[in-house]
Amino acid sequence: MKQTSHINAFLSLAVFVSALSLSACGGDSQSASSIPVEKRLTNLGEVYTDKNGMTLYTFNNDTANTSNCNGGCAVKWPPLIAANDALAKGRFSIITRADNSKQWALDSRPLYRWINDNAPGDTTGEGVKSVWFVAQTAPISKRKIDVTTAGISNTVTVLTNSSGKTLYAFTNDQAKPGGSSCNNGCAVEWPPLLSNEGDQPSGNYTIITRDDNTKQWAYRGMPLYRFVDDSLPGDSKGEADKNIWFTVPPVAVSKYNTTAQGIILSDTKWLSLYVLDNETTSNLICKGACLTAWPPLKANENDADSGDYTIFSNANGDLQWAYKNKPLYHWKGDAAPGETNGQGLAHPSGASWIVAKP
């Protein structure tokens, strides 16, 4: 009986150790196959990072499920390598690189770190060579493209969906603050950028409720759409369509078609913007009472320069947007989108106020 008791105890211990070993193996496998990605709030809004908090980026020269960053590029932009037993989940998939290693991708776009980011939350790789951008938690990215507005062509950075398709704002949405005026047939031609269950607003990216109760992404309050005729990343065939659809730069500026002045720059509520004809960011003229009559287009500390749109400190010490080095202002006498009552007014210095045009 005593020997049997010892045998039973030994068997029980063996079963326990075996179960513990299986559990440990299972735990290691789960750890290896989990997605090594976290979310972090940065100066550019909420972005994806690796497990150490280092910001992740996408490369506009990649194609879907294919990395074109190899050799020296991969030294500067280390790929987010996936374990051999890693499993795709949700927006995250796994691609095979040229050297047969595995790499994590977000919405089919390979993910990378940037060698010059030194601390968790750094975003110094944003906009490098106009092809590297942070991987945002919102299904939105950026791309530098050629855009023609009112016969004038500019190379600008604009918002895109996660597949690189250009996004647009609809100036008729001014009639429905917090909602969309593009429904039914309009929404077929201009598909809204819908959000998925579980998506959360982040920084300048918010979510609105449409008439059919679906949810749609918005940027600085402007609902976002694609154009059905844009077939490739970089297309902008919808720009200035009917003079009410415009691409969206990642700044506090939009465009609006006015009766008196044609297409001009506006804020994201489509109120007209102005410049003082001989003022620059290095030669400020509007000071003191002028800044009351002509409220500056203010930037916040989380905003960032983008191409011709830059941020400077004005005479009051406030952050202000400028376009092509010319400070941007509102006019206190404009109350509604499309009004340009400040056009041609004189500044005491003899300079003239003119609407800002793209």
Portion of the chain with pLDDT greater than 90, in percent: 85
pLDDT-based confidence at residue 295 (cuts at 50, 70, 90): very high
Task: Dump pLDDT digits (tens) for 188-247.
Answer: 999 999 998 889 898 899 999 999 999 999 999 999 999 999 999 999 999 999 999 999
- The answer to whether the Cα torsion of 45, 330, 306, 226 is positive or negative is positive
- For position 9, what pLDDT does the model report? 43
pLDDT-based confidence at residue 15 (cuts at 50, 70, 90): very low
Calculate ∠ Cα 101-51-135, nearest 5°: 75
Task: Dump pLDDT digits (tens) for 142-154.
Answer: 999 999 998 989 9
| Beta-bridge mates of residue 93 | 105
Q: What is the mean pLDDT of residues 272-285?
A: 97
- For position 202, what pLDDT does the model report? 87
- For position 23, what pLDDT does the model report? 37
Helix/strand/coil for 110? strand
Residue 25 pLDDT > 70, yes or no?
A: no
- For position 19, what pLDDT does the model report? 38
- For position 332, what pLDDT does the model report? 98
> Which amino acid, 211?
D
pLDDT-based confidence at residue 43 (cuts at 50, 70, 90): confident
Query: Tokens 């855009």 — which residue?
Result: 147
Give the pairing type, strands 109-110 and 168-170. unpaired
pLDDT-based confidence at residue 302 (cuts at 50, 70, 90): confident
Please give the mean pLDDT across all residues of the chain: 91
pLDDT-based confidence at residue 17 (cuts at 50, 70, 90): very low
- For position 133, what pLDDT does the model report? 96
- For position 14, what pLDDT does the model report? 41
Rounded to two decimals, what is the model's pTM? 0.86
Residue 21 pLDDT > 50, yes or no?
A: no
Q: Can you list the positions of beta strands (E) in 240-302?
A: 245-247, 253-258, 262-267, 274-276
Residue 272 pLDDT > 90, yes or no?
A: yes
Residue 2 pLDDT > 50, yes or no?
A: no
Task: Dump pLDDT digits (tens) for 237-264.
Answer: 999 999 999 999 999 999 999 999 999 9
pLDDT-based confidence at residue 6 (cuts at 50, 70, 90): very low
Neighbours of 305 (CB within 10 A): 15
Residue 178: DSSP 8-state:
T
* Nearest by Cα to 243 from 253, 231, 252, 256: 256
Portion of the chain with pLDDT greater than 70, in percent: 91
Cα 288 to Cα 318: distance, rounded to the nearest angstrom: 12
Task: Dump pLDDT digits (tens) for 325-353.
Answer: 999 999 999 999 999 999 999 999 999 99
- For position 33, what pLDDT does the model report? 52
Q: What share of the chain is helix, strand, coil (3-state, %, to 5)?
A: 15, 35, 50
Output 324 or 4, whichever has higher pLDDT: 324
